[in-house]
Amino acid sequence: MKAGKGRGRPLALLAFCSILSACGGGDTPPTTVADACQMQEEKPGWFAAMRKTEDKWGVPVAVQLATIARESSFRAEARPTKRVGSGLFSRDVPLSSAYGYAQAIDGTWEGYMSDTGRYSADRDDFSDSSDFIGWYMNSNARVNGVAVTDAYNQYLAYHEGKAGFARGTYRDKSWLPGVARDVQNWAAVYQRQLTACPG
């Protein structure tokens, strides 16, 4: 889905964003990423959107949640950047066109809008990003035979693109399987928590 290895861990980034509350633009991240039940209490609209996506595309809420946590740390206006220069002349340079909660790149987002007819969808809108993830992973299930519940392989394809996944390009990135395992582990944690949430 996007280039760049140096995206920090969701927990560390989110701690900063929660303190500053200016990270992420129009909607602030939840106060915790470790407790799905608390996130659900804080962001009921987000969870309603993810349940709608699960009903429509089959991608479990827990898989969506782990993917968004990894991709953007729940920051609406997240972009992958690299700091270049020093002092007064330093600046952030975009590493790719990835943007928003789902870190969708321009071309893939345009394909999503064209395929679904959702031309008013925005990458910094949580419900649109959730629907995008559902669309993408459902398509990957059809193209590559990866179950929508398989957070590990779905994340590899999400990062590398469906064609790249089919070619096994992730094998050339020694760090990427570890990231995918992290997504898989968090999806399992979120699933256990969501099944035990009160109410």
Q: Where are the domains of the chain?
A: 10-196
Average pLDDT over residues 71-93: 73
pLDDT digits (tens, 9 = 90+) for 125-155: 999 999 999 999 999 999 999 999 999 999 9
Round the average pLDDT of the chain to a whole number and report it: 86
More confident residue, 2 or 151: 151
Amino acid at residue number 73: S
SS3 92: strand
Across the range 23-52, mean pLDDT stands at 88
> What's the mean pLDDT in 39-50?
97
In 143-199, where do the E strands start and end?
none
- Tell whether the model's pLDDT for residue 101 goes beyond 70: yes
- Mean pLDDT, residues 88-116: 85
Judge contact between 102 and 127, C-beta under 8 A.
no
Distance separating alpha carbons of residues 99 and 79, to the nearest angstrom: 5
CA max distance for the chain: 53
Q: What is the DSSP code string of 118-132?
A: -TT--TTSHHHHHHH
Instruction: Give strand pairing partners of 81.
Output: 94
- For domain 10-196, the question of CATH label 3.40.50.300 is answered with no
pLDDT confidence of residue 95: 62
Is residue 2 a contact partner of residue 96, using CB atoms and an 8 Å limit? Answer: yes
